């Protein structure tokens, strides 16, 4: 059931991303938006490199090899989703409209759905995840 929900989350995130692209609301010439999106890309690649050779699964599926708690994972549990939300949120904010806001809302809500599915499944596979979750932030340090 959780894996099916995580697929729904993935499809929702992709739908919101495609909507922002279709609305021409993903990119901006604003230096602030560009800086935020570059920061998001740096976070994304740092997290992906730290995560190593583990593969991505459309359905949430904890990989073998233990928990990753170095790099950006030392501070936040989901830096890739954080980077995605920062990148798309900056673009949507630069194009203030209800459509761009709705598309970003889809991305954020469906990313949260995936996060909660993944956390439940990872906790089942790695009981030490509870301790890790107690000392890190889910997405945004000191906020959430």
Per the domain annotation, does 59 fall within a domain? no
Per the domain annotation, does 14 fall within a domain? yes
Reported as a single tens digit per residue, the pLDDT across 109-123 is 999 999 999 999 889
Average pLDDT, the chain: 92
Per the domain annotation, does 90 fall within a domain? yes
Report pTM.
Answer: 0.91
Average pLDDT for runs of 10 along the chain of length 144: 88 96 96 98 95 74 80 94 97 96 97 93 89 92 78
For 129, what's the count of Cα atoms within 13 Å in the CB-facing half-sphere?
A: 17
Per the domain annotation, does 71 fall within a domain? yes
Q: Is 143 helix (H, G, I), strand (E, B) or coil?
A: coil
Per the domain annotation, does 141 fall within a domain? no
Structural domain total, the chain: 1
- What's the pLDDT score for residue 64? 75
3-state helix/strand/coil string of 23-87:
CCCCCCCCHHHHHHHHHHHHHHHHHHHHHCCCCCCCCCCCCCCCCCCCHHHHCECCHHHHHHHHH
- What's the pLDDT score for residue 55? 67
Range(s) of the domain holding residue 130: 2-54+65-135
As a whole number of angstroms, the distance between CA 101 and CA 137 comes to: 25
Per the domain annotation, does 142 fall within a domain? no
Per the domain annotation, does 140 fall within a domain? no
- What's the pLDDT score for residue 52? 80
* CA–CA distances in Å: residue 73 to residues 4, 31, 92: 25, 28, 26
As a whole number of angstroms, the distance between CA 9 and CA 94 comes to: 25
Per the domain annotation, does 131 fall within a domain? yes
């Amino acid at each position: 059931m959780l894996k099916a929900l995580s697929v729904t989350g993935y499809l929702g995130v992709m739908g919101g991303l495609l909507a922002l692209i279709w609305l021409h609301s993903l990119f901006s010439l604003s230096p602030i938006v560009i800086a935020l999106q570059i920061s998001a890309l740096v976070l994304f690649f740092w997290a992906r490199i730290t995560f190593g050779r583990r593969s991505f699964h459309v359905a949430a599926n904890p990989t073998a090899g233990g928990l990753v708690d170095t790099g950006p994972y030392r501070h936040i549990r989901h830096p890739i989703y954080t980077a995605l939300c920062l990148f798309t949120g900056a673009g949507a904010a630069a194009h203030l409209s209800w459509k761009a806001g709705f598309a970003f809302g889809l991305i954020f809500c469906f990313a949260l759905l995936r996060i909660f599915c993944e956390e439940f499944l990872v906790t089942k596979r790695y009981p030490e995840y509870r301790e890790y979750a107690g000392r890190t932030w889910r997405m945004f340090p000191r906020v959430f």
